[in-house]
Amino acid sequence: MIELSDNTTRHPVRLLTIDSGNAGQRIDNFLITALKGVPRSLVYRLLRTGQVRVNKGRIKQTYRLQLDDIVRIPPVTVPVEGEQQPLSKGLCDAISQSILYEDDDLMVVNKPAGIAVHGGSGIANGVIEIMRAIRPQEREIELVHRLDRQTSGCLLLAKNRPVLLALHELLRENLIDKRYYALVQGYWKEDQRTIDFPLLKGRAESGSRTVRVSRDGQASTTLFSVERHFAHKMTLVEAKPLTGRMHQIRVHAAHAGHPILGDERYGQRRLNRELKKQGLKRQFLHAHRLTFMLPATKKKISVSAPLSPDLVRFLASLEV
């Protein structure tokens, strides 16, 4: 018999009936919320192995819940509330001070590079776990979208389920204007260019997730506009993704012959090593602006995130 440690608890089988608040949500996202504290990798394993059932049947992770569905959640061991791995005060302060905009329904934070948006795969805590720890009164706070760990900038969070659903609908309809700054390799000739190549997810030999251009992939479109050319054969561009695929901007830029500088997965390793010596320690990709309007309030929200000091310093060094 395996004994549980003092700081864990084992939940029994749960049967949950889906109400109007959760109808339309993907089953994987529903489980991540229902099983707070459980690694995402375990959530997906439960789905793959059929331990999670909907109406007594197996479902895929992309299944969208319907009103009155009955979801069976198997016994799962999770940390006891209040006894999770403690967070450093410095990290909590950094996230708390990164809030760019907040109202009763949502907030936008300027996510630092190097911090994941959520825990999992060896990462104890991400932005969402930290925000829940420093804002325990915000019981329903959730990520609206995601940013890569090494990407900084505007990250949108919803404080309640109705607003989360409304923002997801805006994303599906391409009504959230997301803009990124990227410093890319080479001289980008066109002032504006649309990259429209389908993207397919896969796995590298190491097991990490990767993305490539493929006819079998999902339709993906990114608009690139040149902001400035540098004499060092580098170009600062603004990228506007019209679809929300994983690693989309990074793969589209690389496929166009202009990989993002500092990108360890899709960039040039030798050049990146040289750039580290010059002060660029991570990929130069920053979500600098979000603009949208919630239908319920008709209030236009536009939030900008300034470049982090390390990126500002690197750009300044190129002007010398």
pLDDT (tens digit, 0 to 9) for every residue of the chain, 320 residues total?
Answer: 223 334 444 556 888 898 877 888 889 888 888 887 677 778 888 998 999 999 999 999 889 999 889 999 998 865 544 445 567 788 888 899 999 999 999 999 999 999 989 876 556 678 988 998 899 888 889 999 999 999 999 999 999 989 998 999 999 999 999 999 999 999 999 999 999 999 998 877 666 778 999 999 999 999 999 999 998 899 999 999 999 999 999 999 999 999 999 999 999 999 999 999 999 999 999 999 999 998 888 889 999 999 999 999 999 999 75
Q: How much is the pLDDT for 86? A: 66
- Where in the chain is CATH 3.30.2350.10? 90-169, 177-318
Give phi and psi for 169, each to the nearest 5.
-65, -40
Nearest to 292 by CA among 175, 146, 180: 175
Could you tell me the fold of the domain covering 90-169? Answer: Pseudouridine synthase (3.30.2350)
Superfamily, domain 177-318: Pseudouridine synthase (3.30.2350.10)
209: which 2 tokens? 């997730």
Q: How much is the pLDDT for 82? A: 42
What is the spatial distance between Cα 221 and Cα 238, in angstroms, rounded to a whole number?
14
Give phi and psi for 138, each to the nearest 5.
-90, 80
CB count within 10 Å of CB 183 equals 25
What is the spatial distance between Cα 309 and Cα 282, in angstroms, rounded to a whole number?
13
Residue 45: half-sphere exposure toward Cβ, Cα within 13 Å: 8
What is the spatial distance between Cα 287 and Cα 176, in angstroms, rounded to a whole number?
13
Q: How much is the pLDDT for 10? A: 55
* Residues designated as active site: 148
> Could you identify the residue written with the tokens 């936008």?
108
Q: How much is the pLDDT for 284? A: 98
Q: How much is the pLDDT for 166? A: 92
Query: What are the angstrom distances between the C-alpha of 20 and each of 16, 60, 76, 295?
Result: 13, 21, 26, 19
Residues sharing a CB contact under 8 Å with residue 131, sequence separation 6 or more, in sequence order: 95, 109, 138, 141, 157
Residues sharing a CB contact under 8 Å with residue 24, sequence separation 6 or more, in sequence order: 64, 65, 165
What is the spatial distance between Cα 16 and Cα 59, in angstroms, rounded to a whole number?
15
- Where in the chain is CATH 3.10.290.10? 8-77
3.10.290.10, 3.60.10.10, 3.40.50.300, 3.40.710.10: which CATH number matches 8-77?
3.10.290.10
